[in-house]
Amino acid sequence: MKKFVQSLINGVAIALIASMVFTAFPATSNAALVQLPPLPYDYAALAPSIDAETMQLHHDKHHATYVTNLNAALEKYPALQKQSVESLLQNLDQIPEDVRKTIQNNGGGHVNHSMFWTIMKPDGGGKPTGTLATAIQSTFGSYEAFQEKFNQAGANQFGSGWVWLVMNPQKQLQIISTANQDNPLMQGLYPVMGNDVWEHAYYLTYRNRRADYLKSWWNVVNWAEIEKRFVSSASY
Ligand SMILES: [Fe+2]
């Protein structure tokens, strides 16, 4: 019995160390263990900014498909499974060519959406506080100017993609947009926050009115989570 307990403790210790090694921030999960993270709230929790059916399809179908396709690609290359998905995205040029695009699209889709669910919450909104508020103020002039620039970049992204607030290597905040499921990590930028401007994110409620979706989205933003990501970006 004593031996069994000891081996159990050893097993837990090894698992803990492994997770510390392979999930260096900003890892969402070990590539070998990619799983669809559960939504941290009900499908209807973000209504009326985002309707329940959109949330259900977006999470249970779109995100789930990225996870399935990513795992199918990783199954061919066990060595890649030892890295976090974020690390794979940062080093796409080192990925075998036959699965590179699949991992770019579906690994990006997984990481992007895993962040997306956490930076929203019911009864969100308001304004950032603390060091993030100060950084936004000094970079963009005001919170309102930042919001406007972010919305503009989201509206101007042609076709499917994302709009981001990122930290660049010079430790300056920047607003960028990316196509498809590309993540800023692919360009050496740290994603502090991002909004999904694929039609699947808003079309059921907003139809072609992306600008209205972008405007309403601020009501469900989870600033506490974004501030955590901003603090982490300092050591990236
Ligand atoms: Fe999406």
- To the question of domain 130-233 being in CATH 3.55.40.20, the answer is yes
Q: What separation in Å is there between the alpha carbon of 62 and the centre of ligand 1?
A: 7
Q: What separation in Å is there between the alpha carbon of 198 and the centre of ligand 1?
A: 6
Among positive and negative, which fits the CA dihedral 181, 124, 152, 48?
positive
CA 236/CA 233 separation, integer angstroms: 5
Q: What separation in Å is there between the alpha carbon of 52 and the centre of ligand 1?
A: 14
As a 3-state breakdown, the chain gives helix, strand, coil percent values, each rounded to 5, of 60, 10, 30
Q: Where exactly are the structural domains of the chain?
A: 51-118, 130-233
Q: Shortest CA distance to 104 belongs to which of 66, 141, 131, 130?
A: 66
Q: What separation in Å is there between the alpha carbon of 162 and the centre of ligand 1?
A: 9
pLDDT per residue rounded down to tens, the chain (236 residues) = 444 445 444 444 434 434 333 334 455 655 557 999 999 999 999 999 999 999 999 999 999 999 999 999 999 999 999 999 999 999 999 999 999 999 999 999 999 999 999 999 999 999 999 999 999 999 999 999 999 999 999 999 999 999 999 999 999 999 999 999 999 999 999 999 999 999 999 999 999 999 999 999 999 999 999 999 999 998 88
Q: What separation in Å is there between the alpha carbon of 186 and the centre of ligand 1?
A: 18
Cβ-count burial 137-153 (b if 16+ within 10 Å, e if not) = eeebeeeeebbebbbeb
Q: What is the pLDDT of residue 11?
A: 45
Q: What separation in Å is there between the alpha carbon of 109 and the centre of ligand 1?
A: 7
Residues 82 and 31: beta-carbon distance below 8 Å: yes
User: Can you read off the two tokens belonging to residue 100?
Assistant: 């590179």
Q: What is the pLDDT of residue 10?
A: 46
Reported in sequence order, the residue ranges of the chain that DSSP labels E, i.e. its strands, are 161-167, 173-179, 190-196
Q: What separation in Å is there between the alpha carbon of 210 and the centre of ligand 1?
A: 14
User: Can you read off the two tokens belonging to residue 34?
Assistant: 């990619």
Which is the CATH superfamily of the domain at 51-118?
Fe,Mn superoxide dismutase (SOD) domain (1.10.287.990)
Q: What separation in Å is there between the alpha carbon of 59 and the centre of ligand 1?
A: 8
Q: What is the pLDDT of residue 27?
A: 57
Q: What separation in Å is there between the alpha carbon of 63 and the centre of ligand 1?
A: 7
Residues 89 and 108: beta-carbon distance below 8 Å: yes
Q: What is the pLDDT of residue 236?
A: 82
